[in-house]
Structure 1
């Protein structure tokens, strides 16, 4: 399978703290690190680790953060050729504040991660792909790309992310073979009837596992782990679930793989982890 991943390309600064501070409070930073982030980038990196040929579309600035993000993705094997570099633009940087329980608070600058438009994906990109994965981005861009992907014969998945509560993704969801949401997002998705529009909704529940609703049903209980950092766990789940579907596995097996990938990501600091089929199989044997 060849996947076209479209969405945010960020640079992440992760700050480990003893606890998240109260308003007007203070806490100690125990560790800090930097690495690439962004939902589309994280999913693309996970797919490549699982042997899926993946091309990424997004936008970065021509600053140091953008250069670092592109270098890291290219090193991992993601095709970054279509990524737009904005002259004089500022790459979106997100500051992930992670407490000792692995819970995450995110601070971000606006940056240029939505400077790209649907026109950034030319017909050649679509014709050379088998599947289109759309993550948090301008909803109109997502809907337009979903239409073009379907017209080109691609299957489509949509993972709107935490801004699903603030933006109208109904048009994109109506075109989705798979819509990914987590527990918090599910409440908003239900209100907006997004889950009724997608063919299948994949509900990500962290340590409580995952389930399918809509055209397919099923569930997996998840894996009991102590999370270190939950940032990017949902993106790792999506990569694992999709890679398993592409590999011909049934829904139950795909949910198990997705949960394993999310758990593996939660055990590492940062929004990405090195995913591989070997690591998944070893994790499942151990749990």
Structure 2
């Protein structure tokens, strides 16, 4: 008997969002900005919060410090109904922190990994008795932990659990080709268009998507304002994005992931999953903070219905 719809494993930290910072101060100077606000950050945390707000039962595994920021993250999780039993409170370091500067334009970040650096992908729970029907993973680092990911994912699959993973940006520039072997084991493999281009070695998205289709990979490629494309069992499905006023793009991709997985776990079609993902991403960018714009399922479906495109034949799509 599975207790949760999803167990989320990955990073959790706080984001300090700074709005209206046109220039960094010189030594000895002080500048004033339009606003600063504190939010839960980290791709896995934003995914978990968004999925929980949509109504799924979520548990989270991560590491935070024995400090105010760690308590803030836990409090926000609990308010959203997330089970924090698997979150470790570490005495070794402080909770991670990112300062997001000018999120409404070309964002810049100053980040401290903190206790996120302590997280190991091997769950400190019995892999043969995972208390969830789905596990969402982050933190893939190419050749540095590829073997570990392959082992854990295969064990999870053997236990009857479905698995999704957001591959994330490779800050080493390696773009490890073994990622295609990992794709074979993952039920829903998320990447953005820039990551897809790097991994496939293509220069245009059409070529990258075709290569993924030929490889028969189950991949969902996020394309920002351009929507998203799912390549499932050799079939390519594209859904356009929603035109909204963009305030802060932080966490938009993680919010997309949560919307897509909510549809996936609900047994919806690929088209509907993409619509859920695009809608969650669109709602996310309209407010500061990665999960601030997250809504419950009724409001999500209302948003989708209100933004349906009517074609020339008078049909909604």
TM-score scaled to structure 1, two decimals? Answer: 0.88
Q: Cα deviations across residues 234-277 of structure 1 (Å, max 9, x unaligned)? A: 11100000101111110011101100000000001011133211
C-alpha distance in 2, partners of 1:149/1:60? 24
Matches within 5 A, 1:82-97: 82-97=86-101
Out of 122, 125, 143, the position equivalent to 2:125 is: 122
Does structure 2 retain, via aligned residues, the 8 Å contact 1:19–1:27?
no
User: Are residue 206 (structure 1) and residue 224 (structure 2) matched?
Assistant: yes
Q: Please, what is the CA RMSD of the aligned residues?
A: 2.8
Q: Using the TM superposition, give the Cα deviation of residue 104 of structure 1 relative to its aligned residue in structure 2, in angstroms.
A: 2.3
For residue 32 of structure 1, what is the aligned residue in structure 2?
36
Structure with greater Cα Rg: 2
Q: Using the TM superposition, give the Cα deviation of residue 160 of structure 1 relative to its aligned residue in structure 2, in angstroms.
A: 2.0
Out of 232, 247, 267, the position equivalent to 1:248 is: 267
| Structure 2: 5+ residue stretches without partners | 203-207, 308-317
Does structure 2 retain, via aligned residues, the 8 Å contact 1:84–1:116?
no
Out of 60, 75, 78, the position equivalent to 1:74 is: 78
Instruction: Report the number of matched residues.
Output: 284
Q: Using the TM superposition, give the Cα deviation of residue 124 of structure 1 relative to its aligned residue in structure 2, in angstroms.
A: 6.6
Matches within 5 A, 1:102-181: 103-123=106-126, 126-137=129-140, 139-140=145-146, 141-163=148-170, 165-166=173-174, 168=176, 170=179, 172-181=182-191
For residue 8 of structure 1, what is the aligned residue in structure 2?
11
* Change beyond 3 A, Cα 1:189–1:28: farther
Q: Cα deviations across residues 181-215 of structure 1 (Å, max 9, x unaligned)? A: 11222222324999577841101111110001252
Does structure 2 retain, via aligned residues, the 8 Å contact 1:48–1:54?
yes
C-alpha distance in 1, partners of 2:95/2:113? 9
Q: Cα deviations across residues 48-89 of structure 1 (Å, max 9, x unaligned)? A: 111111111111111221111111111111111111111141
Q: Using the TM superposition, give the Cα deviation of residue 11 of structure 1 relative to its aligned residue in structure 2, in angstroms.
A: 1.0
| Structure 1: 5+ residue stretches without partners | none
SS at 1:248 equivalent: coil
